[in-house]
């Protein structure tokens, strides 16, 4: 079978599976006199990926920035983490421009470059949340210098997995336990009045499920529950997305809240209303809510500001092209990207040969992870029980794993013996959690990993 045929088959089969901020005033002005509450609005936006195939995450973040900027937040109060390799990417058909929807406007202009390149990492992310300038390595030095009256909005978009979120470096993860620890520290330091956290990633619910306390004034929503993928959308080949893009322009949960903000008066819309709208548009996964639910009665305006009252809102109506956009599991976007590259390249060209090589490598990497995890499971639990143990999902309200150090250690151990999980292989992190829950020893994991990943299969 030709490689294209094979990939299409494979693809179909996987598819089935100290500064002055805008002062908060009840009526929306930014006057610093006569206010009812003296807090400021702060935001931290982060795209955890790099690479042109992940165009959409940085596009989502840039779009979020434009909304906050229009809402009156100042750049000094908006912290942006983005690798910044998209706008000038040689593969970008519109140099210097990033769009987040078919025929969309440029969202890249004006975006502050606080943390770019390798400065986008979990260490700086935690330091920025905690307002700890001394802990930063690189970057603009901007951190959440917030106090007990301030409102914080955090938005994160990237690949994720059960119990963790990705970062541009493949060896850097944001573990759920560590993120929750950072949020608890921020709360204990009286670092905010209330916080809203929007999170797009595969299995994003697992970052908060059974972990985010209800008494910390934090309200979170996630693109998916703890056991399912999240979805990319506006992919090339869809109406209005020219083939040359070769990638997806947005993620479904993200564009759902972003476009909802574009289309509505943020003074009048509550988080509860937005949640309902986003949940209904994000129909491929279950959009979830966690933490302190009292905040669903708050207006988006409290965190995101709003355009001047004279602004007229064009109600969002999905154009035919948008409503029939495909969605693609985030885990399969890279495959689609390599496949499109092969298809676009002229027959017999050097480009095509290169693209075919990349595609074959991606397929081989996926097969290797599939094979090795299956094998490890069988060696540990026997062929009969293996998949049941590895894929076990605990009842809702319970965290994924009890011993987080074990979880981290097991992932590191696997990667040192069998190679990086990388974006696709991250789908197996639940298996490592369940090995910890089942009491597998490190020694044993080392032995079975070596057996499963012996030279023969690598």
- Which residues touch 293 (CB under 8 Å, ≥6 apart)? 214, 219
Nearer to ligand NAG, 269 or 322 (CB): 322
32 binds ligand NAG (CB under 6 A): no
- Which residues touch 279 (CB under 8 Å, ≥6 apart)? 286, 287
CB of 168 to ligand NAG, least distance (A): 14
CB of 253 to ligand NAG, least distance (A): 13
34 binds ligand NAG (CB under 6 A): yes
416 binds ligand NAG (CB under 6 A): no
151 catalytic? Reply is no
CB of 402 to ligand NAG, least distance (A): 33
CB of 35 to ligand NAG, least distance (A): 7
Which of these is catalytic: 57, 62, 151, 202? 202
CB of 84 to ligand NAG, least distance (A): 5
321 binds ligand NAG (CB under 6 A): no
Contact 203, 229 (CB under 8 A): yes
Q: Which stretch binds ligand NAG (CB under 6 A): 28-36, 296-304, 371-379, 427-435?
A: 28-36
284 binds ligand NAG (CB under 6 A): yes
In DSSP terms, which residues pair with 41 in a beta bridge? 151
Q: Which stretch binds ligand NAG (CB under 6 A): 21-29, 345-353, 357-365, 378-386?
A: 21-29
Nearer to ligand NAG, 4 or 323 (CB): 323
Q: Which stretch binds ligand NAG (CB under 6 A): 22-30, 75-83, 212-220, 426-434?
A: 22-30
CB of 285 to ligand NAG, least distance (A): 9
Q: Determine phi and psi for 36, rounding to 5 degrees.
A: -85, -35
| Residue numbers 115-174 binding ligand NAG by CB under 6 A | none
202 catalytic? Reply is yes
Q: Which stretch binds ligand NAG (CB under 6 A): 25-33, 104-112, 211-219, 369-377?
A: 25-33
Sheet with strand 164-166: strands edge to edge: 160-161, 164-166, 173-175
Among the listed residues 14, 29, 321, 352, the single contact to ligand NAG using CB under 6 A: 29
Among the listed residues 27, 349, 361, 383, the single contact to ligand NAG using CB under 6 A: 27
How far apart (Å, rounded) are the C-alpha atoms in residues 250 and 57?
A: 7
Q: Which stretch binds ligand NAG (CB under 6 A): 23-31, 156-164, 179-187, 425-433?
A: 23-31
Nearer to ligand NAG, 235 or 448 (CB): 235
Q: Determine phi and psi for 223, rounding to 5 degrees.
A: -65, -25
How far apart (Å, rounded) are the C-alpha atoms in residues 291 and 215?
A: 7
223 exposed, middle or buried (CB, 10 Å; 0-12, 13-18, 19+)? buried
**C-beta nearest to ligand NAG: residue:** 34
Nearer to ligand NAG, 19 or 31 (CB): 31
The site for ligand NAG, by CB under 6 A, has a size of 12
| Residue numbers 36-95 binding ligand NAG by CB under 6 A | 84, 87-88
How far apart (Å, rounded) are the C-alpha atoms in residues 321 and 224?
A: 24
CA 307 to chain centre: 27
- Give the interface with ligand NAG as residue ranges (CB under 6 A): 25, 27, 29, 31, 34, 84, 87-88, 96, 283-284, 323
Catalytic site positions = 159, 202
């Amino acid at each position: 079978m030709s490689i294209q045929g094979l990939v299409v088959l494979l693809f179909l089969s996987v598819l089935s599976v100290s500064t002055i901020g805008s002062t908060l005033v009840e009526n929306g002005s930014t006057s610093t006199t006569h206010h009812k509450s003296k807090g400021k609005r702060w935001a931290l936006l982060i795209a955890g990926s790099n690479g042109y195939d992940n165009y959409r995450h940085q596009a989502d973040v840039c779009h979020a920035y434009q909304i906050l900027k229009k809402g009156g937040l100042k750049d000094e109060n908006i912290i942006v983490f983005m690798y910044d390799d998209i706008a000038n990417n040689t593969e970008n058909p519109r140099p210097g421009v990033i769009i987040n929807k078919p025929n969309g406007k440029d969202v890249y202009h004006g975006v502050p470059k606080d943390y770019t390149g390798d400065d986008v990492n979990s260490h700086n992310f935690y330091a920025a949340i905690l307002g700890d300038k001394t802990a930063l390595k690189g970057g603009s030095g901007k951190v959440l210098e917030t106090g007990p009256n301030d409102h914080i909005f955090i938005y994160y978009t990237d690949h994720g997995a059960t119990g963790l979120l990705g970062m541009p470096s493949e060896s850097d993860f944001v573990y759920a336990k560590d993120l929750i620890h950072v949020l608890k520290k921020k709360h204990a330091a009286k670092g905010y009045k209330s916080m809203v956290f929007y999170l797009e990633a595969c299995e994003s619910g697992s970052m908060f499920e059974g972990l985010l306390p209800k008494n910390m004034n934090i309200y979170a929503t996630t693109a998916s529950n703890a056991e399912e993928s999240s979805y990319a959308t506006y992919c090339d080949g869809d109406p209005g997305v020219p083939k040359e893009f070769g990638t997806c322009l947005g993620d479904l949960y993200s564009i759902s809240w972003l476009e909802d903000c574009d289309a509505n008066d943020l003074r009048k819309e509550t988080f509860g209303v937005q949640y309902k709208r986003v949940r209904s548009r994000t129909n491929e996964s279950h959009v979830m809510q966690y933490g302190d639910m009292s905040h669903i009665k708050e207006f988006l305006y409290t965190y995101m500001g709003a355009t001047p009252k004279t602004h007229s809102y064009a109600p969002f109506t999905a154009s035919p092209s948008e409503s029939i956009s495909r969605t693609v599991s985030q885990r399969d976007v890279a495959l689609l990207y390599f496949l499109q590259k092969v298809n676009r390249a002229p027959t017999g060209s050097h480009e095509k040969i290169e693209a075919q090589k990349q595609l074959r490598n991606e397929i081989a990497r996926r097969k290797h992870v599939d094979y090795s995890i299956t094998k490890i499971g069988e060696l540990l639990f026997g062929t009969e029980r293996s998949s049941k143990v590895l894929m076990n999902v605990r009842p809702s309200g319970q965290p994924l794993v009890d011993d987080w150090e074990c979880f981290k250690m097991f992932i590191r151990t696997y990667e040192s013996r069998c190679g990086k999980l990388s974006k696709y292989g991250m789908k197996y992190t639940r298996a490592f959690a369940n090995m910890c829950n089942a009491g597998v020893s490190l020694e044993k994991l080392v032995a079975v990993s070596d057996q499963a990943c012996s030279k023969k299969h690598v």
